[in-house]
Amino acid sequence: MKLEQIDTPAALIDIARMQKNIARMQARMNTLGVAFRPHVKTTKSIDVVRAQLAAGARGITVSTLKEAEAFFAAGVTDILYAVGIVPSKLPRALALRRQGCDLKLVVDNPTAAAALAAFGDQHGERFEAWIEIDTDGHRSGIQPEQQTLLDVGRILHENGVTVGGVMTHAGSSYELNTPDALAALAEQERAGCVRAAERLRAAGIACPAVSVGSTPTALAARDLQGVTEVRAGVYVLFDLVMRNVGVCALDDIALSVLTTVIGHQEDKGWAILDAGWMALSRDRGTSRQSHDFGYGQPCLLNGTLLPGYVVSGANQEHGILAAVADGEPAGDIAQRFPIGMKLRILPNHACATGAQFPEYHAVAADGSSTEWPRFYGW
């Protein structure tokens, strides 16, 4: 199907840009001598994941058991479920392992560790758990020097659960925007996670895997001594938040929302789009960054940026395209953007925007497109 024939709003993936992003990340990981385990929560699309695996990724990271089930059904077996496990989710995890899925679970507290061990014992299943480490204070995990780390390690190790490794995610990297700050955080992430592994090993717990990552730290890391693998998700498509963080350029962004001009308010300088927040998502991640892109950056259908314009507002199925605040009033808005004109909007956050769509339209260099289904829910 050609771009002009796709019903709007629609989520487009520029295949060439995506492949370039995949190749760039994989090349960095190869240079740094670590395995790469992409976080597939960004796209939830087997077509994208196949491209990541074909480029050299080893295993995947998921954010939900539904992702684990869907990608295992599609043939991926090495899966890290990177959200802390709780007892109520263990039956689904067990079912996956019994079907042959090499599913690794994550724990960061003694209660969950003990529950996992008891459940495994009860069902005769040797689970594999990775211990989550907190290296930047932004969310979950055990700090490398905490006693709890060894407590959790021992509960698992002594009660029939394999301690497969330690993992951390320096999500505070999204708040940085200079190469030096990102490199420093990448080193902090590396050092903290390696230290945690060393403490476990010193206590007699093997801990083979040392897994770190976020897109910014993965691309900024200068050395990954002691790390065995890196995880990252949004790098595969990139977005305006990552552009502001400084790890991609606008023309690296592989995801856009195809939209149609459906009206105007000429006295206000507005063109009304059929992409509102349901299509663009409510994510306003760039509002706290150096460049606020509103609800997204408009481009022509061929991808040419329209730097003087922004999606300044959004209702559920209406977006408002206007000149940027410091730009000249768009007195010619209806002539510049006539009814029926198609545009593409670069999103603030690829994970949030993609989630609004049942499928991507993957666009090849010749402008033809293929549907890549994606799923949602838990």
In the complex with a copy of itself, the residue whose CB is nearer, 54 or 86, is: 86
Among 71, 72, 277, 293, binds a copy of itself (CB under 8 A): 277
Q: Which amino acid is at 374?
A: R
Cβ at position 353, least distance to a copy of itself in Å: 10
> Binding string, 359-378, against a copy of itself, x = CB under 8 A?
x----------------xxx
The reply on whether position 301 binds a copy of itself by CB under 8 A is no
The reply on whether position 88 binds a copy of itself by CB under 8 A is yes
How many C-beta atoms lie closer than 10 Å to residue 249's C-beta? 10
The reply on whether position 336 binds a copy of itself by CB under 8 A is no
Concatenated DSSP letters of 205-264: ----EEEE--HHHHHH-S--TT--EE--SGGGT--HHHHHHTSS-GGG--EEEEEEEEEE
The reply on whether position 37 binds a copy of itself by CB under 8 A is no
The reply on whether position 24 binds a copy of itself by CB under 8 A is no
Among 45, 52, 61, 63, binds a copy of itself (CB under 8 A): 63
d(CA 103, CA 85): 12
User: Could you give the 3-state DSSP secondary structure of residue 120?
Assistant: helix
Cβ at position 281, least distance to a copy of itself in Å: 6
Residues in 341-360 at the binding interface with a copy of itself, rule: CB under 8 A: 351-352, 355-359
Q: Which stretch binds a copy of itself (CB under 8 A): 52-60, 175-183, 241-249, 260-268?
A: 260-268
159 burial level (CB within 10 Å; 0-12, 13-18, 19+): middle
Among 92, 154, 201, 336, binds a copy of itself (CB under 8 A): 92
Among 9, 59, 213, 354, binds a copy of itself (CB under 8 A): 9
Lookup result for tokens 């990177």: 82
d(CA 39, CA 375): 15
Element (H, E) at 359: strand 359-363
d(CA 177, CA 216): 9
The reply on whether position 147 binds a copy of itself by CB under 8 A is no
Query: How many residues would you count in the chain?
Result: 378
The reply on whether position 329 binds a copy of itself by CB under 8 A is no
For the chain, percent helix, then strand, then coil, each to nearest 5?
40, 25, 40
Token pair recorded at residue 103: 């599913």
The reply on whether position 3 binds a copy of itself by CB under 8 A is no
User: Could you give the 3-state DSSP secondary structure of residue 106?
Assistant: strand
The reply on whether position 320 binds a copy of itself by CB under 8 A is yes
d(CA 323, CA 308): 6
Among 35, 181, 262, 301, binds a copy of itself (CB under 8 A): 262
d(CA 315, CA 319): 6
Cβ at position 155, least distance to a copy of itself in Å: 13
In the complex with a copy of itself, the residue whose CB is nearer, 365 or 377, is: 377
Q: Which stretch binds a copy of itself (CB under 8 A): 136-144, 157-165, 295-303, 362-370?
A: 136-144
Q: Are 111 and 102 in contact (CB under 8 A)?
A: no
In the complex with a copy of itself, the residue whose CB is nearer, 327 or 338, is: 338
d(CA 100, CA 55): 24
Residues in 102-131 at the binding interface with a copy of itself, rule: CB under 8 A: 108-109, 111-112, 115
The reply on whether position 100 binds a copy of itself by CB under 8 A is no
Binding site for a copy of itself (CB under 8 A): 7-10, 41, 63-65, 83-89, 92, 108-109, 111-112, 115, 134, 137, 139-140, 171, 260-265, 268, 272, 274, 277-279, 281-284, 315-318, 320, 338-340, 351-352, 355-359, 376-378
